[in-house]
């Protein structure tokens, strides 16, 4: 692990063991290796991956006390962000990674095996389908998503997984005020309450980021999420 990466983690108040440092480096190696034959990320340079994937994933600790969280689901995890960095840095978490592309799930399972991670599982499927299953519905303390979708759509994907009192936190780039305004109705209908927005810059960069914190205060009505494709096509407005 580079000193630059370590310094950025220190700015977040994260101190890793040697084993965790090795896990991050191995994750990087496998990400670049697999990226050679499937499209996982457009970012492959070592320090850039550390900054824009790893540090970015872990910066959620600016928005929530992760030590008080036990169960996490990462919706549309892609190449494993933020779920795998969270699992490496905070081994107490029990994490589920959901993605709709089987090739990515194969990659994630390889990462989990190679890094020797426990209490982390993958699901291949769509968020709308698994949210209907009793073993996943309203079962998680925290739902996270770095997926690119508007907040109304993401809320319909994510809030059904969150238990009462739990939190959905959306990773967003800098300016999200207008998007939040448009999503207020959806958040309320789905049982959520907008708590606050945490804006910050990635350590040592000019990159603006936002976390949108939505608490689950009511059960989500059974009809949500609607069938696959609808939340994206016709967001609740």
Quickly state the pLDDT bin for 128 (edges 50, 70, 90).
Answer: very high
Instruction: Tell me what pLDDT residue 68 has.
Output: 97
Beta strands at 192-201 and 208-216: parallel, antiparallel or unpaired:
antiparallel
- The CATH code belonging to domain 3-233 is 3.40.50.150
The residues spanned by each domain of the chain are 3-233
Work out the average pLDDT over 65-86: 98
Calculate the average pLDDT of the chain.
96
**CA–CA gap between residue 96 and residue 145 (Å, rounded):** 12
pTM score above 0.85: yes
The pLDDT > 70 percentage for the chain reads 100
Distances (CA, A) of 63 to 149, 167, 217: 20, 11, 18
Work out the average pLDDT over 152-161: 98
Is residue 97 scored above 80 in pLDDT? yes
């Amino acid at each position: 692990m580079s000193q630059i990466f370590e310094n950025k983690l220190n700015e977040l108040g994260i101190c890793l063991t040697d084993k965790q440092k090795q896990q991050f480096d191995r994750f990087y190696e496998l990400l670049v290796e697999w990226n050679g034959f499937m499209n996982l990320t457009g970012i492959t340079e070592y320090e850039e991956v550390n900054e824009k994937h790893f540090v970015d994933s872990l910066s959620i600790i600016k928005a929530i006390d992760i030590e008080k969280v036990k169960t996490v689901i990462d919706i549309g995890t892609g190449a494993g962000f933020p779920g795998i960095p969270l699992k490496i840095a905070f081994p107490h978490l029990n994490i589920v990674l959901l993605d709709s592309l089987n090739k990515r799930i194969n990659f994630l399972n390889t990462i989990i095996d190679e890094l020797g991670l426990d209490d982390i599982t993958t699901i291949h499927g769509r968020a709308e389908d698994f949210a209907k299953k009793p073993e996943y519905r309203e079962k998680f303390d925290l739902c996270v998503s770095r997926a690119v979708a508007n907040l109304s759509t993401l809320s319909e994907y994510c809030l059904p997984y969150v238990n009462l009192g739990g939190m959905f936190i959306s990773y967003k780039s800098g300016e999200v005020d207008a998007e939040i305004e448009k999503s207020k109705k959806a958040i309320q209908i789905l049982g959520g309450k907008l708590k606050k927005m945490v804006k910050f810059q990635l350590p040592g960069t000019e990159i603006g980021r936002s976390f949108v914190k939505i608490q689950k205060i009511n059960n989500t009505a059974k009809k949500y999420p609607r069938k696959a494709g609808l939340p994206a096509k016709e967001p609740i407005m």
